[in-house]
Amino acid sequence: MRLCVPVPCFFKKIDFCDAIRQIAALGYDCAETYGWKNLDLDRVRAVCEEVGVELRSLCTSEFRMTDPAYRQAWLDGLRESCAAARRVGATRLITQVGPDTGAPRQAQHAAIVETLRAARPILEESGIIIMLEPLNVLVNHPGYYLTTAGEGFDIVREVGHPLVKLVYDIYHQQVTEGNIIPSVTQNLDCIAHLHSAGHPGRHELWLGENDYRYIFDAVDRAGYDGACGLEYSPTLDPLASLREARERYA
């Protein structure tokens, strides 16, 4: 498993390409980001190729999937986001599913599935993997619809397409339901990326109740060969935090 650096978590005030260079200098070869519309995608790709850092994922530009009225807007956003991902060299997009609309959960679940089924031609044309993200509502994202990895896995399997997967965020699922290792290792067919942070606080991995060395070892033994984003707010100097994370877990 590779460690992946989410650029916005650690580099808030410097040029994006300079951040990529610093990530490479720290010994990492994988990064991700969220919004992409303000990036010079060609320049970013050139710098990533120059220093040997894979920009693994971006986020979609639209996030509402629970309400069918927004389906076309989400699909249009997916199309432009897939084009951006290909241009910058990313292979994955993260999307959220949107708020709980108050409609019956069965109807919202079905709306997400149907939206993803409608997305299949866009994904097949681009070759980009779309990854749903369950989030916790107890601490960080009140009102969000998709809270459990279990429902996320159900959605992925109902859609039944190799380019539709889940990003499993260990921090969010620890807040929501725990049971991290069985949940990940028994559902690797549905997972295309991991996120991590210490809980409580969403800080460094070693500042929390999870033993990430044990988790990462178990995930590696189960055959996961993807990446894990260090999606936390550092309490240390950001560069010092990344150095220590690499020393502990790389």
**How many domains are there within the chain?**
1
Q: Which of 127, 182, 194, 130 is nearest to 156 (CA)?
A: 130
Q: What is the pLDDT of residues 17-33, one digit of tens each?
A: 999 999 999 999 999 99
Q: What is the pLDDT of residues 83-104, one digit of tens each?
A: 999 999 999 999 999 999 999 9
Radius of gyration of the chain from Cα atoms?
17
What's the rounded mean pLDDT across residues 102-120? 98
pLDDT at 189: 98
CA dihedral 131, 132, 137, 143 (to 10 degrees): 130
Q: What is the pLDDT of residues 153-182, one digit of tens each?
A: 999 999 999 999 999 999 999 999 999 999
Is the distance from CB of 26 to CB of 238 less than 8 angstroms?
no
Q: What is the pLDDT of residues 73-83, one digit of tens each?
A: 999 999 999 99
pLDDT at 44: 98
Q: What is the pLDDT of residues 186-227, one digit of tens each?
A: 999 999 999 999 999 999 999 999 999 999 999 999 999 999
* Unique residue bearing structure tokens 């800080």: 203
The residues assigned a catalytic role are 133, 231
All residues at 6 or more sequence positions from 62 whose CB lies less than 8 Å from its CB, including other chains: 70, 73, 74, 76, 77, 78, 95
Q: What is the pLDDT of residues 224-237, one digit of tens each?
A: 999 999 999 999 99
pLDDT at 60: 98
Count CA atoms closer than 13 A to 153's CA, side-chain side: 15
Structural domain including 171 reads 2-249
Which domain CATH number covers 220? 3.20.20.150
Whether pTM > 0.85 for this model: the answer is yes
Q: Which of 110, 103, 95 is nearest to 58 (CA)?
A: 95
pLDDT-derived band at 241, boundaries 50, 70, 90: very high
pLDDT at 57: 98
pLDDT at 148: 98
pLDDT at 99: 98
Tokens of 48: 């990533």
